[in-house]
Chain A
Amino acid sequence: MKNVEAYITGVGQSEVGMKLTRHPLLLTLDAVREAMNEAGLTIGQIDGVSTYPGRVAAMPGFSPVGADELVDALGIRATWYAGGGEITSQLGAVVAAVGAIRSGQARHVVCFRTVYEAAAMARPDEYPMWRRDRVEGNSQWFSPFNALSAVTWTAQYAMRHVKRYGLTREQLAQIALTDRAHALLNPRALVREPLTMDQYMSARMISSPMCLYDCDRFTDASTALIVSAGDALDEVSCTPIRIAAMAGTVERLSWDQAEWMACYATGVDLWKRTDYRPADVDTAQLYDGFSFQTLAWIESLGFCEVGEGGKFIEGGKRIALDGELPLNTFGGQIGAGRLHGFGFAHEAVTQLRGKGGARQIPGDPRVAVAASGGGPLATALLLTKD
């Protein structure tokens, strides 16, 4: 059996909004259809489906569509499929698909992430959260102390950076300011209003040092990526983007025991699996469920030394569209909406193909990094046009 390379071919996205009424399966179909159209593929050519985190019955808005539902709804005959949350974060679904492609189990795998949290919160009768009298599992180690949101967990990593390395709010603000500036140029972005430094500095604190604008917000949307085999590219009509390297880490899954964020080990591992170097990267699309996670990814991937992330982004010029490392050019999750990991790979492919429209970075970008996850989970993809 020969080992083939894997490529991202079609990419697609549904409308992005809050409190949408379109059924989440139909949003997923919208994203998949756009991805297939771009790739010039039809349902009959799709033989694999991969998603994160699969259907989560206890939190219906968090993941309302499972891989098996998509297989059934679209009439896909799958030779391989997977959907689960026990993987190294959201883009782990793409990593799993690459494994299936490389081992010859599938030729064109649809990877998707559908989120419906804003709609579910607005319509609790239709999308009820499961309520329990008592907490169990990993949640028992922090929710009794009302550390109820990932922002309170991420903020503790951020606070260590503040105290150890002197990260300032003005520095951290550049993630949100950059995201929101780029979102203005993205017609599908959720938040299309400018954000100023004064607004950021006067925002209410959520969990110090993270303020309101350091957080993404619940979004309804679906994002799809098709991963295709290198020996099936003659079936595809778009510019294929090679998945040149992948890395992921988990060590202590429970956030309370993870001494440091998993992205740091993941960044080191990524560069062991490629001859490309950080200096070769033309654009970085780095997870920003909370702004500090992006700063940690910048350090993790070697764009600067550990502890220097604040200075690296200071003033924002370096990470602007015309900077040396254009960052989250679609607006990230803070600007474009909580697409939950998949938006970063979608945008990396879009930029490498030169299809970014008003937000297209200058020159002829050939190398991009897309990363998902924060805290104890991390996944990084190196994507190239070569």
Chain B
Amino acid sequence: MAGYAATSTRPIPRLDSDNRAFWTGGAVGELRILHCADCQGYTHPPRPVCRHCLSERVAPKAVAGSGVVDTFTVNYQKWFPAMEVPFVIARIALDGVPGVFLTTNIIGCPVDAVDIGDRVRVVFEQHGDVYLPLFEKAD
């Protein structure tokens, strides 16, 4: 089976003041990571303080949305009856955002076409008010 079929069976995050910018950025096509105006570092998961310098001058910033597959697994187990398997779970190291990883799915290609080091690019999948950042191979 190629790729992952979007379903409504994904658990969806509850929005709060910390995470809203991240989960809704896809509405305007932005992948937003919390950025520090003082040390220029990034903090994820988002919270009201920079984890590098403890500055409170932090705000969501749109990042490039591209990155590299740091590692991955192909999930074959149906964790609930409606789950469509197999699909790729991957951890992405984002370009220009050192120290931040996103766990996500690689979609749009056969599961055996994914490897560590692959270049990927974000695509958003909407679930009501939440936009999940999924990734596709960039080349």
Contacts of B90 in A (CB 8 A): 156
9 contacts between A and B (CB under 8 A): A135-B11, A136-B14, A146-B9, A146-B10, A146-B105, A207-B76, A207-B89, A255-B103, A256-B103
Q: Whole-angstrom distance between the alpha carbons of A112 and B104 in the complex?
A: 36
Contacts of A146 in B (CB 8 A): 9-11, 75, 79, 83, 87, 89, 105
Smallest CB separation, B58 vs chain A (Å): 16
Contacts of B105 in A (CB 8 A): 145-146
Instruction: Tell me the smallest distance from the CB of B71 to a CB of chain A, in Å.
Output: 4
Residues of chain A having any CB pair with chain B under 8 Å: 132-136, 138-149, 151-152, 155-160, 163, 204-210, 254-257, 259
Residues of B whose CB lies within 8 Å of any CB of A are 9-14, 16, 19, 44-45, 70-77, 79, 83, 87, 89-91, 100-105, 115-116, 130, 132, 134
- Least CB distance from B91 to A in Å reads 6
Q: Is A144's CB under 8 angstroms from B89's CB?
A: no
* Cβ contacts under 8 Å, A140 to chain B: 13-14, 19
Contact B89 A257 (CB under 8 A): no
- When distances are taken between beta carbons in the complex, the residues of chain A under 8 Å from B101 are 256-257, 259
Q: Pick from B12, B19, B71 the residue with the most CB of A within 10 Å.
A: B71
CB–CB A256/B11 < 8 A: no
A160 contacts B103, CB within 8 Å? no
Determine if A145 and B116 form an interchain contact, defined as CB atoms under 8 angstroms apart. Answer: no
* Distance to closest chain A CB from B34 (angstroms): 13
B12 CB, min distance to chain A CBs, angstroms: 6
Our pick among B89, B100, B115 for the contact of A145 (Cβ within 8 Å) is B89
A131 to chain B, nearest CB (A): 11
> Known contacts A135-B13, A163-B116; is A156 also within 8 Å of B89 by CB?
yes
**When the two chains form their complex, are residues A144 and B132 in contact, meaning their CB atoms are under 8 A apart?**
yes
Question: Are A157 and B71 in contact (CB-based, < 8 A)?
Answer: yes
Known contacts A159-B71, A163-B115; A206/B76 CB under 8 A? yes
Residues on A with beta carbons closer than 8 Å to the beta carbon of B10: 143-146
Other-chain residue from B9, B14, B71 in contact with A156 (beta carbon distance below 8 A): B71
A193 to B28, CA, bound (A): 56
Cα–Cα distance between A138 and B46 once the two chains are bound (Å): 11
* Set of chain B residues within 8 Å of A207, measured between Cβ atoms: 73-77, 89
Which residues on B sit within 8 Å (CB–CB) of A135? Answer: 11-14
Is B91 within 8 A of A256, CB to CB?
Answer: yes
**B73→A152 contact, CB < 8 A:** yes
Taking a contact as CB atoms closer than 8 A, the residue among A134, A142, A209 that contacts B103 in the complex is A142
Tell whether, in the assembled complex, residue B45 and residue A208 are in contact, meaning their CB atoms are under 8 Å apart.
no
CB distance from B85 to the nearest CB of A (A): 9
With A145-B132, A257-B45 as known contacts, state yes or no: A134 contacts B75, CB within 8 Å: no
B73 touching A159, Cβ below 8 Å: yes
Rounded to whole angstroms, the CA-CA distance of A209 and B83 in the bound complex is 20
Residues in A with CB closer than 8 Å to B103 are 141-142, 145, 147, 255-256
